[in-house]
Homo-oligomer: A and B are copies of this chain.
Amino acid sequence: MTRFVLDDFLPYQLAVLAERTSREFSALYRERFGISIPEWRVVAHLSQAGTVSVREIHARVAMDKSKVSRAAARLEAAGYITKTVDPRDRRLVALSLTEKGRAMMEEIAPLAEAFQAEFLARLGARAEDFREALAVLLEPQGKDEAPEEEGIQGEAGARARAR
């Protein structure tokens, strides 16, 4: 008789906390710039990565390709980024921030820092440990064998299947 208590269930707690936090933070930039959460993620990633493809973002930012694609389309329409075809590989679309996009990011970044600081302040001394735990949990948890140290290049291995 397990008397299950939803409020103490971790996936539930995480979902609630994450949604609340994201929503609260997104209100800050949504008002000012009218961008959505996926759009924010794309911009934020671009600001640190320079010029990258949709594929790159999809892989690094845990968003479906279509989500990235649509976010990029909206951002381009709003003038925050440019989309150009990569001349080396014409399948790739090179995304990069416009001046307007950089200006926006320049304005949001401090808000983000402040938001996070305030968030962590609620934890007091526990903050450090919490961040550490989060980092552990975010490690790509494997069904693949041991992580094999460093030497893997970007693309994962198990590609050989065919028929």
Which residues of A are in contact with B by a Cβ distance under 8 Å? Answer: 2-6, 9-22, 25, 41, 44-45, 47-48, 61-62, 105, 109-110, 112-113, 115-116, 119-120, 122-123, 126, 129-134, 136-138, 141
Contact = CB atoms under 8 A, between A and B. Distances in A.
Given A11-B119, A15-B18, A122-B136, 4 more contacts: A11-B116, A16-B62, A126-B129, A129-B129
Contact of A2 (B11, B25, B110, B138): B110
A129 B20 CA distance: 21
4 shortest A-B CB distances, which residue pairs? A18-B18, A14-B18, A130-B133, A2-B109
Each complex incorporates copies of this chain amounting to 2
Contacts of A9: 44, 112, 116
A48 B2 contact: no
B138 A3 contact: no
Q: Which of A11, A21, A110, A133 has the most CB of B within 10 A?
A: A11
A4 B136 contact: no
Contacts of A18: 11, 14-15, 17-19
Contacts of A131: 10
26 contacts: A2-B109, A2-B113, A4-B48, A4-B112, A5-B48, A6-B44, A6-B61, A9-B116, A10-B21, A10-B119, A10-B131, A11-B25, A11-B115, A12-B41, A13-B138, A14-B17, A14-B21, A14-B134, A15-B18, A16-B62, A17-B137, A18-B19, A126-B129, A129-B129, A129-B130, A133-B133
